[in-house]
Amino acid sequence: MGQRSSVLMVILVFGILFSLMYVSGVMASARKDMQMKDLQAAPRVYASISRMIEPENICFTIDKEFLDKYSTFPSSIDEADYWAEIYIQTDRSYGNYYSGVGLHLNRNEALSLLSTYHSDFDRTVHSKNSSPDGRFTHESDRFSCGFAYEQKYYQLELSFETLKQVNRDTGYVPVYITREQVEKQQDSVQNKVTFAPWNNTLVFFNQLTSAITIELSNVNGTGAEQHFETFAVLPGRMIDLPAPADWTALDDTAYQYKVKEYPWISGHVTVSTVYTNGCLTPEIAKSLYAQSDFELKFPSYLPEGFRPVCNAENTDTYMIQIYANQSATDYHASKGIMHSKDNPYPFYLYSSTPQQEVKGIVQVHAMKLYEDGKAQDARKQLLESYQLLLNQTVQYPFSTPISDLQFIESDENGGRSYLKYNQGKFLTAVEVAVNSEKYVVIGSLPMEEMMNIAKSLS
């Protein structure tokens, strides 16, 4: 009886161990499948290789069959060898590695590599990073592994970058895939226009409960479609994808997207370079600067005889609006000087500028100021102050003679004023601050007129 109990106990123990191993294996496989699915939805994949000094964590060896499957490796290996030889001569390295070089793997190739050698790759923890303008936050998964080739050793790095969150509601082209579009089962084409060069980024929002596949094509000048990218968007997730302009043609670049699972959901996105051909219209300027989270304001009031003559791009956070009357038009036309294409008027007016050159010109310098956390508390107060300005006829917080256009960012209390002005011999400057935007109106008009222009910004 005792012997039988011992045998049963052994069987029971082995059964439990086997079950645990089986369940553990199934869970590990499920985790791997889920991880691969997440990585498959990453729109950006970066890969690099570098020569090793000593072999370390060698996952695989490259042979002819491997090179036939991953044809981009040889040229990258040659480049890594080239830099390694230079570093050997100068006795420089980064630990066990020489300087790395980029590897031109597409997402499918990187996923294939990772799937084949998954258990051997070292995975780093998730890392989050914000885009330089703070608009997006991405999450990166990094994997590394060594490989051998012709008795030399290399380190392979793979990085998959996914959009984790959108920090602002402007500055990109949103494309929403919704349940309503699916249920309609009819043409749901969305046509959108964005302007180069700063951030022609499409953000696809999957608001369904199932994954979708986006097929993006580039429509060239002949109307023919060329495949650009295909990617999955998991349910409830989003993906950002830059849509570059064709700068060689200096013409509009058209992209078409389709949802593979629901062919009736499609759309066109045009990336335009039209603004490069001259002064911007207010409509183009607003669309262009919205890509930098800058909601431009234009004056609704201009003195009699003044008209818009140019909206001049300076940077993605700074634009100069130029208005002129007939006297300024005649004077600058007679000089024949073009400060930029289609613009005979100067970009900047200074107190040292001759009176004849500033007469009849009003400029509005529009600036985007990215505020720090401390300034966030002042946003509501600034809005209230601006509304107060709109409701008053004239208000002069302080007056100082204008020397050169050096605009004060803070007052004696350490906060930005919503309105300041400088009045000089020829020029007057009125500064209005609204939230994280600042507008400086500059011209040779009486202060009351300058104030009216500033108050009409909307």
Query: Which CATH number covers residue 411?
Result: 3.30.200.100
Q: Is residue 115 part of a domain?
A: yes
Q: How far is CA 233 from CA 41, 103, 209, 218, in A?
A: 6, 25, 11, 20
Residue 178 has pLDDT above 80, yes or no: yes
Asked if 131 and 171 touch (Cβ cutoff 8 Å), the reply is no
Q: Which of 104-113, 149-158, 166-175 has the lowest mean pLDDT?
A: 166-175
Q: In DSSP terms, which residues pair with 269 in a beta bridge? A: 192, 255
pTM, rounded to two decimals = 0.61
Same structural domain, 408 and 321:
yes
Same structural domain, 298 and 447:
yes
Residue 120 has pLDDT above 60, yes or no: yes
Q: Is residue 283 part of a domain?
A: no
- Residue 418 has a pLDDT of 42
Burial 328-352 (b: 16+ CB within 10 A, else e): bbebbeeeeeeeeeebbbbeebbbe
CATH of the domain at 266: 2.60.40.420
- Residue 152 has a pLDDT of 93
**96: which DSSP letter?**
T
> Among candidates 235, 216, 231, which has minimal Cα distance to 178?
235
Task: Tell me: cis bond preceding 74? Omega within 30 of 0 counts.
Answer: no
If one counts the domains in the chain, the total is 3
- Residue 364 has a pLDDT of 93
User: Angle, nearest 10°, between helix axes 447-455 and 379-390?
Assistant: 130
- Residue 80 has a pLDDT of 92
Higher-confidence residue of 216 and 193: namely: 216
> Among candidates 320, 367, 317, 316, which has minimal Cα distance to 343?
320
Which of 166, 201, 220 is the last residue before a domain boundary? 166
pLDDT band at 27 (very low <50, low <70, confident <90, very high): very low
Q: Is residue 18 part of a domain?
A: no
Which of 110, 136, 166 is the last residue before a domain boundary? 166
Tokens of 21: 């191993």
Residue 315 has pLDDT above 80, yes or no: no
Residue 304 has pLDDT above 80, yes or no: yes
Same structural domain, 154 and 120:
yes
User: Rounded CA gap, 20 and 329, in Å?
Assistant: 86
User: Rounded CA gap, 42 and 231, in Å?
Assistant: 8
Q: What is the mean pLDDT of residues 401-414?
A: 37
Q: What average pLDDT does the structure give for the chain? A: 76
Q: Is residue 197 part of a domain?
A: yes
User: Rounded CA gap, 9 and 1, in Å?
Assistant: 12
Q: Is residue 201 part of a domain?
A: yes
Q: Is residue 281 part of a domain?
A: no
Q: What is the mean pLDDT of residues 166-195?
A: 79
Same structural domain, 228 and 243:
yes
Digit-coded pLDDT (tens) for 59-70:
889 998 999 888
Composition of the chain by helix, strand, coil, percent to 5: 30, 35, 35
- Residue 377 has a pLDDT of 45
Q: Which domain holds residue 409?
A: 293-455
Residue 109 has pLDDT above 50, yes or no: yes
pLDDT more than 70, % of the chain: 71
Same structural domain, 315 and 450:
yes
Higher-confidence residue of 76 and 382: namely: 76
Residue 371 has pLDDT above 60, yes or no: no
pLDDT band at 417 (very low <50, low <70, confident <90, very high): very low
Same structural domain, 269 and 361:
no
Asked if 256 and 175 touch (Cβ cutoff 8 Å), the reply is no
- Residue 15 has a pLDDT of 58
Same structural domain, 200 and 85:
no
Same structural domain, 140 and 251:
no
Same structural domain, 381 and 321:
yes
What 132-136 contacts at long range (C-beta under 8 Å, 24+ apart), as own/partner pairs, is 133/171, 133/199, 133/292, 133/293, 134/167, 134/168, 134/370, 135/166, 135/167, 135/168, 135/171, 135/172, 135/199, 135/293, 136/163, 136/165, 136/166, 136/167, 136/240
Higher-confidence residue of 182 and 199: namely: 182
Digit-coded pLDDT (tens) for 216-256:
888 765 555 677 788 889 899 998 888 887 777 767 888 88
Distance of CA 444 to the CA centre of its chain: 39
Same structural domain, 218 and 233:
yes
- Residue 322 has a pLDDT of 92
- Residue 452 has a pLDDT of 86
Which of 166, 189, 206 is the last residue before a domain boundary? 166
State whether residue 197 is helix, strand or coil. coil
> Among candidates 225, 228, 271, which has minimal Cα distance to 247?
271
pLDDT more than 90, % of the chain: 16
Q: How far is CA 22 from CA 13, 15, 36, 252, 418, in A?
A: 14, 10, 21, 57, 68
- Residue 8 has a pLDDT of 58
Q: Is residue 139 part of a domain?
A: yes
Same structural domain, 304 and 438:
yes
Higher-confidence residue of 447 and 77: namely: 77
End-to-end Cα separation, the chain, in angstroms: 94
Same structural domain, 97 and 228:
no
Q: Is residue 2 part of a domain?
A: no
How many CA atoms within 13 Å lie on the side-chain side of 449? 16
